[in-house]
Amino acid sequence: MTDAAAAETSFLPVVVAIDGPAAAGKGTLARGLAARLGLAYLDTGSLYRAVGAKLLAEGGDPADAETAAAVARALVPADLGRPDLRSEAVGTAASQVAANPRVRAALLAFQRDFAASPPDGKAGAVLDGRDIGTVVCPDAPAKLFVDASVEIRARRRMEELQQGGGDAIYAAVLADLKERDARDRNRADAPLKPADDAELLDTTDLGIEEALERALAIVQRKTGLAVTKQA
């Protein structure tokens, strides 16, 4: 085999795994990292949200394990562009279907394929979710666990909802986040937790820019990737 052929066969996309609870800032950081490092980005929560949204739209019950698994198996990429994915109702349904091992199994291959063959010929991918560093991509060279106090997460989520024209009450958003955290952390299959080799990033007292600079420094140290696009 020539050196060039050997280099081609040994090319492995770089995977950056970002996990953490709802509204900790994972999505903003993951998108920012992908943009600055020239990597593809997958919001894996949108897969669970798409399953929840389709189920609700069909009048199904997210607690019905068989139907939820069938919806997950039939998911197509266009479902990830549904306009209703960010609603609170869909978020709650997503958290319920995410506790179903058959739903998780059905969505695993999609996530691993994305990491192994990032679209548009990108050199790697950033995936954010709850179990990327522990289950989906346990060999990722860079793993971040992004966290923040539940009170600050509730405040950020409320501002997001209000900016979207919604009407949000702090106490209700806080209660919903606590319930979702408990479900994500305590489920038997792939619970939310930091991988042993994850770096923790607490964004409670950080603005978006500062959090992104810190995340970038960690990922560059772990992967040797260079910034391809300045902020």
Residues at the site binding ligand DC, with contacts judged by CB under 6 A: 22, 44-45, 48-49, 91, 94-95, 98, 129-132, 180, 184
Q: How far is CA 45 from the centre of its chain?
A: 5
User: What is the smallest separation between the CB atom of 3 and ligand DC, expressed in angstroms?
Assistant: 38
> Among residues 131 and 147, whose Cβ is nearest to ligand DC?
131
Look at residues 114, 111, 119, 123 and name the one whose alpha carbon lies nearest to residue 11.
Answer: 123
Q: How far is the CB of 33 from ligand DC (least distance, A)?
A: 16
Output 54 or 180, the one with its CB closest to ligand DC: 180
* Phi, psi (rounded to 5 degrees) for 18: -120, 115
Nearer to ligand DC, 38 or 138 (CB): 138
Nearest to ligand DC of 22, 212 (CB atom): 22
Nearer to ligand DC, 25 or 118 (CB): 25
The DSSP H or E segment spanning 7 is: helix 3-10
- How far apart are CB 230 and ligand DC at their closest, in Å? 28
**Minimum separation from the CB atom of position 181 to ligand DC (A):** 9
Min CB(131)–ligand DC separation in Å: 5
CB atoms within 10 A of CB 48: 28
DSSP 227: P
Reading across the β-sheet that carries 124-129, which strands appear in turn? 40-43, 124-129, 14-19, 142-147, 199-202
Nearer to ligand DC, 44 or 203 (CB): 44
Output the six-digit token pair for 79.
């479902």
Long-range contacts formed by 54-58: CB under 8 A, 24+ apart: 54/79, 54/82, 55/93, 55/97, 56/89, 56/90, 56/93, 57/84
Closest contact distance (angstroms) between CB of 177 and ligand DC is: 10
Q: Tokens 């007292």 appear where? A: 205
